[in-house]
Amino acid sequence: MKKSTISLLIAGGIAAATTASVAQTDKMAPMGRGEATIYRDANFSGPAVFVGEAKTNLALRWSVNSIRVKSGTWELCSRTRYRSPCITVSADEPNIRRFAPQMMMVQSMRPLGYAPPVIEHPAAGTSLRGMAAEFFPAPGNSNGRRVLACGYGSASANCAAETADSYCKSIGWAGSARQSMETVSGRVYLADVLCTRTGY
């Protein structure tokens, strides 16, 4: 076999190995998706906010002291725009202060491997209706504005559930079977509401 032919075979083998390595790396790369709920108080109590995407500024009026991680691995940072100090959390943490004493505040958070999604947020009031339920990603009122999670006081999971239930009943359903909260520009809105015939 000629020397030039051997060189080409070796070069081809290296290229193939490199391609396989890159493909494997891409396959193992984090997707940057996740769901978590942060709470003002330890042991998952007090006002709560659901987070399903990267937030450069949570704009909360209270400190985050516990977190439930439904999916993904999250980076929590004490300053806005993911500036240090930061910690990484991949499971429920009932007491962040005890887990990481340096985290006096949590002002931004994101799932690891995050890349801004190329999708548009649905307009307020947009829904997907079925025979026995209707799903509202961003519930809206008659003026085309989004519905606040709580019309009074600080946003909490219980208050959001009551608001979602009232919203579903106002449009002819028995109640809400599921709801979340989303913080936008410092305001906490109702999100991902599932209205059903049974209400649960």
pLDDT for 38-89, tens place per residue? 999 999 999 999 999 999 999 998 999 999 998 989 999 999 999 988 999 9
pLDDT for 128-185, tens place per residue? 898 899 999 999 988 888 999 988 777 888 899 999 999 999 999 999 999 999 988 8
Same domain, 45 and 68: yes
Count of domains observed in the chain: 3
Residue 119, domain member (yes or no)? no
Same domain, 75 and 107: yes
- Is the pLDDT at 115 greater than 90? The verdict is no
pLDDT for 20-29, tens place per residue? 333 332 323 2
Bridge partners, residue 86, by sequence: 77
Same domain, 13 and 60: no
Same domain, 157 and 107: no
Same domain, 103 and 81: yes
Residue 122, domain member (yes or no)? no
Q: pTM of the full predicted structure?
A: 0.43
As a whole number of angstroms, the distance between CA 38 and CA 136 comes to 22
Same domain, 137 and 192: yes
Question: How far is CA 114 from each of CA 72, 124, 187, rounded to the nearest angstrom?
Answer: 10, 25, 23
Same domain, 20 and 44: no
Question: How far is CA 115 from each of CA 36, 40, 51, 95, 119, rounded to the nearest angstrom?
Answer: 17, 27, 15, 29, 12
Predicted local distance difference test score (pLDDT) of residue 108: 94
Residue 187: which pLDDT band, with cuts at 50, 70 and 90?
Answer: confident
Same domain, 145 and 181: yes
Phi, psi angles (nearest 5°) of residue 165: -60, -45
Range of the domain at 44: 35-111
